[in-house]
Amino acid sequence: MSIKDEFATRNFSIYGQWLGILSMILCFALGIANLFNLFHFLLIIFAILALVSCFCILFIEVPLLLRICPTSSAFDTAIRKVSSNYMRAATYGVMALIQWLSIIVTASSLIAAAVVMTLTALCYALAGIKGQAFVGSKTLGGAGVAQMIV
């Protein structure tokens, strides 16, 4: 199944997964960019939180990495709990809220990450409301790709 075929399924969990990848890229890039802010020390804390969110999203959205990367069993258990659409929506909602709170310090580019994470949370919430089962993208290591390498 190609990416085009995945999007044609109209399953909001696929949209959420790809928006999650976009939010991961934004969190990484904007987290690094805002680390070097000399004027607002608190913004550096939000940049670090964006980088932490980036790596959490990476393991949530690309399940193949849990088998490849050496991580602790506690981390693996925590990431595996985020498997349903509602749990993913809640996780992205919390991460988005943290980035929205960065506006308290000053308006920065972290707002872009907050917007995309909010859209991701909405996609997962819509998938849950519509009763759509979570469908992992084959391109990102879901749907049996992890079992093929073992």
- 97-150 confidence digits (pLDDT tens): 999 999 998 888 999 999 999 999 999 999 989 887 777 666 665 554 444 333
pLDDT at 143: 53
pLDDT at 146: 41
pLDDT at 144: 47
pLDDT at 31: 93
For residue 52, give both structure tokens: 């932490």
Closest Cα to residue 63, out of 132, 123, 148, 121?
Answer: 148
- Calculate mean pLDDT across residues 36-65: 88
- Calculate mean pLDDT across residues 87-93: 93
- Calculate mean pLDDT across residues 30-38: 89
Torsion of CA 73, 59, 68, 4, to 10 degrees: 150
In angstroms, the CA 87 to CA 121 distance is: 9
In angstroms, the CA 135 to CA 17 distance is: 9
- Calculate mean pLDDT across residues 41-60: 92
- Calculate mean pLDDT across residues 81-104: 92
pLDDT at 113: 94
